[in-house]
Amino acid sequence: MTGRTAIVVKGYPRLSETFIAQEIRGLEARGLDIEIVSLRHPTDKHTHPVHDEITAPIRYLPEYLYREPARVSRAWRAVRHLPGYRAARKAWLRDLRRDRTPNRIRRFGQALVLAHELPADIGHIHVHFLHTPASVARYAAMLTGRPWTVSAHAKDIWTTPDWEKREKLADTDWLVTCSAYASDHLTALDGSGEKVELVYHGIDGARFPSPGRARSARDGSDAGNPVRLLCVGRAVEKKGHDILLRALAGLPDGLHWRFTHIGGGDLRNALKTQAEQLGIAERIEWLGAQPQGEVLEHYRSADMFVLASRIGGDGDRDGLPNVLMEAQSQGLICVATAVSAIPELIVDGDTGVLVPPENPKALADAIAPLIADPARRERLGNAGEARVRGTFSFAAGVDRLAEKFGLPPAADRDAA
């Protein structure tokens, strides 16, 4: 691979996509020369420390075409003479016939701008997410004749129709995804059978060092020192927060607990209303989105992490939630649902506890005995930390990506 690499993302920087920022920083550290291309401007009030460490320049495409008509028009006038324009326009019109949405039109307009404005020394386009960003990258690659590749994750896989996934797989050079669950699905759609590879994100031990101390012995018997439950995740349907609230409301009256939720999301107000209706609002703290350092402190001070993931009505679902790996890296016992790739991380009864999705009673029945048993929480938390640090290595994942980008293996770089 020659030249610099453009990495296309949906929005940058975003608090909920720390794993992408960490990967970009890791690739920079391994020698990849990067330019970040974002389809949207940032909306979060905070950033993570890793965003300050990234040196790559950032290019923002027009988020809405009508806001920058001159820029889009200049791009169209320039790229319509490129050899790849006819093929890209044909592919876009074929997609538009099957997906008659304003978003599909916006994707092609953004691709025109991307193709026009990318510096000549960009030799490769890599994109995070198989849905909207991959469409922009695909059209731009067709226009310019550049190779393009994909990192696929969760929602982008499960809310994209199979016809579109097949065609993108046929056009891309390679695709990596972060769970065996997703890899199996995409491999079945890959006509070549050779383009899809499983590469776990892993946990960066430098950013999530072991806490090095024992957990509290809180057992839910002291009203003045309740067991601390934690969930980190956007307030969206697939996270199952409404199920979790119902489970918390079903815990025995004699147990004393507090619950903290970290994350933004459109359903926060509805969830607060639900908590009021269930009579548990006074036990819950809603913190909204938080920077990584604050989240880390909550992992360390909590007694249990709970995530009630489910498959949403539109097919959206988690892949392998990074928050579970982060929590386990701190020795925090995790109770989660056996959905999508979560069983790849948590071994039920050995490194955490899994319950069926959409089942508040089963979730309550798993949480209650753990509240009362700090020794078991400690044992499962330690086992979870050992597994995540041993099996889900951030360095190994970034090293493999670096090789796929054509960089020398780690051993060769160290020797040099």
Cα gap 376→379, rounded to integer Å: 5
When computed from its CA atoms, the radius of gyration of the chain, rounded to whole angstroms, is 23
pLDDT above 90 as % of the chain: 88
**Average of per-residue pLDDT across 374-380:** 97
pLDDT value for 2: 67
Compute the distance between CA of residue 378 and CA of residue 331 in angstroms, rounded to an integer. 7
The candidate with the shortest Cα–Cα distance to 109, out of 90, 91, 129, 136, is 136
Amino acid letter for position 39: L
Confirm if 228 and 394 have CB atoms less than 8 A apart. Answer: no
Query: Per CATH, the architecture of 4-202+393-415 is what?
Result: 3-Layer(aba) Sandwich (3.40)
Instruction: From 266, 274, 269, select the one nearest 243 (Cα to Cα).
Output: 274
φ, ψ of residue 196 to 5 degrees: the values are -95, 135
Query: What distance in Å separates the CA atoms of residue 237 and residue 254, rounded to the nearest whole number?
Result: 30
Write out pLDDT tens, residues 98-112: 999 999 999 999 999
Give 305's contacts (C-beta < 8 A, 6+ positions apart): 229, 230, 231, 232, 299, 323, 324, 327, 332, 333, 334, 335
What one-character DSSP code corresponds to residue 237?
G
Q: How confident is the model at residue 415 (pLDDT cuts 50, 70, 90)?
A: very low
For residue 115, which amino acid is it?
A
For residue 35, how far is the Cα from the chain centroid? 20
* Residues ≥6 apart with Cβ < 8 Å to 366: 335, 353, 355
Q: Is the pTM of this model over 0.75?
A: yes
Closest to 302 measured CA to CA, from 268, 323, 330? 330
Asked whether residue 296 carries a pLDDT value surpassing 80, the answer given is yes
**What confidence tier does 235 reach under pLDDT thresholds 50, 70, 90?**
very high
In SS3 terms, 282-319 reads as HHEEEEECCCHHHHHHHHHHCCEEEECCCCCCCCCCCC
Chain position carrying tokens 């093929």: 87
Range list for CATH 3.40.50.2000 in the chain: 4-202+393-415, 227-391
Task: Classify the C-alpha dihedral 325-331-332-334 as positive or negative.
Answer: positive
Q: CATH second-level architecture of 227-391?
A: 3-Layer(aba) Sandwich (3.40)
